[in-house]
Amino acid sequence: MVASAKAGHAEQSVHLIVTRQDGPDGTPYQEEFKIPYRKNMNVISAFMEIQRNPVNAKGEKVAPIQWESNCLEEVCGACSMVINGRPRQACTALIDKLKQPIRIEPMKTFPVIRDLIVDRGRMFDALKRVKAWIPIDGTHDLGPGPRQGDVERQWRYELSKCMTCGVCLEACPNVNTKSSFVGPFVVGQVQLFNSHPTGALNKEERLEAMIGEGGVQECGNSQNCVQACPKGIPLTTAIAATNRAASKYMFKKWLSF
């Protein structure tokens, strides 16, 4: 029997179809697993069950599935993968709420290292490109920071929730081999740091990056990112705000010629 949200008998099993890859240059293949069902299981606990007894649905001993995870509470962003066609976090993907067989794949936006582990280095390169940090002069005490109004503080708090999970890039149709778009999360981080009184000191450098190759102009406004983001970050609002700021910056540059 297949586990469902309505039933919870001990004889039930969880049916997984996992897309695997033995290495960066390996050929992807699918492998099926059937494991005992337990109440309140998530995808991570299913993988741990397989790790304890790595036997596929044919009864063959296989290598354990390789995946990444850390916090197990949707904070670190490490366990991003595609589950039943949807990019999301495996730690919050509850077995009882998933249609079976559960199909699990690595995110296609990133190079696969092994099985479900992908290289998200492009995300960190993009953060370096837009200087996604607030520079300070040494580590000595600078005193209290600038005062912030509640509306501004809440806006920055929402943007700060980004955990670099990669889900917004996987969901975005404009992040592909034919486009150089850096992705929605970068635009959100530009807004986060440009709206900070100290971060705004490097505002024009970030906007310069945003009007360059792969910048905000590459966004097709599909709005998939804001629907897919596990933290509910207002990415489309951030993109619109960055578009306005970039347009003003370009006009200012044109007038200075």
Name the β-bridge partners of 15. Answer: 34
d(CA 79, CA 17): 17
Residue 187's closest CA among 130, 134, 121, 125? 130
Q: Structural domain of residue 220, as residue ranges? A: 121-256
CATH of residue 204: 1.10.1060.10
Query: What's the chain's average pLDDT?
Result: 92
| Assigned domain for 206 exists | yes
| Assigned domain for 29 exists | yes
Give tens-digit pLDDT for 204-217: 999 999 999 999 99
Give tens-digit pLDDT for 184-243: 999 999 999 999 888 998 999 999 999 999 999 999 999 999 999 999 999 999 999 999
Instruction: Verify that 109 and 128 share a domain, yes or no.
Output: no
Domain count, the chain: 2
Instruction: Verify that 194 and 131 share a domain, yes or no.
Output: yes
| Assigned domain for 1 exists | no
Provide CB contacts within 8 A for 10, sequence distance 6+.
36, 37
Give tens-digit pLDDT for 4-44: 444 443 458 999 999 999 999 999 999 999 999 999 999 99
Sequence letter at residue 212: G
